[in-house]
Amino acid sequence: ILKTLNSWFWWENIWMPINCTWADFVDRDGLVFPKPHQLYATIPYAFVLLIIRFFSERYVAIPLAKALGIKNVRRVKPQPNPVLESYFRECSRHPSQSDIKGLAKKCNCTVHLVEKWFRRRRNLEIPTVLQKFKEAFWRFSFYLTSSIVGFIFLYDKPWFYDIWQTWVGYPFQTLLPSQYWYYMAEIGFYWSLIFTLGIDIKRKASACDFKAHIVHHLAAIGLMSGSWCGNYVRLGTLVIFVHDTADFWLEAAKMFNYARWEKTCNMLFIIFSIAFFITRMILLPFWILRATLYQPTYYSTTPVIAYFLFNGMLLTLQGLHLYWGYLIFKILKRFVFLK
């Protein structure tokens, strides 16, 4: 069954234009092509990024937070109590008064001590400002680095200025070393975000927003991995660059918000909002989606299945951008009219 599914998944008509086979993607005459098996390397790269994250948070983010006036608040741990811990995890973090009395009898202690235990235990679940700052610092560092490196990789490429060039010579476009590392780092980063979903800070946002982040991470990995296999690397690097150039402004705004630098935070959030609407609401739909939906019809009259898969994932991302754009607009509206 697995062998049959594998053959269906790698069927040429899904991935490449008519009259092309996987045999045509063998390196030759100076041409180097992306290979699907190279994507396995993104998992080890994700763990390398997690190690870099650990050291950067510990040796850069913490000293920076202290310099900005953020203190490491130490919370008092409650006394170990298996009965209360079991109730906290399995039943409720906010027991009723009658339940508290029952637990006090069961533990042979006073009601006041049980209330105090639950209060301290709940406080342990609340992330400190320093924890939030460290997470924002890591994302800021990656997105800023990715934006700078992406610009260095792309600024001298003809398709950075003329998007029609993304299709010239397709599918026989050679893979550049810069494109390889750009893809590997970006996919590895999104894998690392998925690996740390369980330990990263849970925001006070709705469950819908949390699910939107999961959908975004999976769609991003699927889109980049698929574009790698189909050699849509030129377009893929443009999509990555457009996304990352707005995100580091948001993470910078968060960092100064945690440090209570209100004016700096507001200024950075306004810059982020402008960058978000330019990249996600203008460049992505009217520049990149135009290149993926409209321009391929000039090169092939019979679009392959990958055409619909990739554009479906890009439209999914654009739907998420519209959702987040609505939330950003609401914040800006409150900022302008309600001070």
Structural domains of the chain, with CATH: 31-68+128-338 (no CATH), 82-125 (1.10.10.60)
Q: Is residue 9 scored above 60 in pLDDT?
A: yes
- As a whole number of Å, the CA-based R_g of the chain is 25
Query: How confident is the prediction for the chain on average, in pLDDT?
Result: 87
**Three-class DSSP category at 124:** helix
At residue 296, the pLDDT reads: 81
Q: If you average pLDDT over residues 188-198, what whole number do you get?
A: 88
Q: If you average pLDDT over residues 303-317, what whole number do you get?
A: 84
Percent of the chain with pLDDT over 70: 95
Q: Is residue 301 scored above 90 in pLDDT?
A: no
The pTM (predicted TM-score) of the whole model is 0.84
What is the distance between the alpha carbons of residues 211 and 138, in angstroms, rounded to a whole number? 21
What is the distance between the alpha carbons of residues 330 and 242, in angstroms, rounded to a whole number? 23
Q: Which amino acid is at 205?
A: A
Strand partners, 31: 28
Q: Which ranges of 108-232 would DSSP assign to H, the alpha helix? A: 111-125, 129-154, 177-195, 207-229
Q: If you average pLDDT over residues 168-172, what whole number do you get?
A: 85
What is the distance between the alpha carbons of residues 190 and 126, in angstroms, rounded to a whole number? 25
Q: Is 323 exposed, middle or buried (0-12, 13-18, 19+ CB in 10 A)?
A: middle
At residue 5, the pLDDT reads: 80
The two structure tokens encoding residue 124? 């342990």
Percent of the chain with pLDDT over 90: 47
What is the distance between the alpha carbons of residues 108 and 246, in angstroms, rounded to a whole number? 56
At residue 192, the pLDDT reads: 93
C-alpha torsion 162→163→169→175, nearest 10? 100
Q: Which amino acid is at 268?
A: L
Q: Is residue 203 scored above 70 in pLDDT?
A: no
Residue 228 makes CB contacts below 8 A (sequence gap 6+) with 34, 36, 38, 39, 183, 236
Q: Is residue 201 scored above 70 in pLDDT?
A: no
Q: Is residue 198 scored above 80 in pLDDT?
A: no
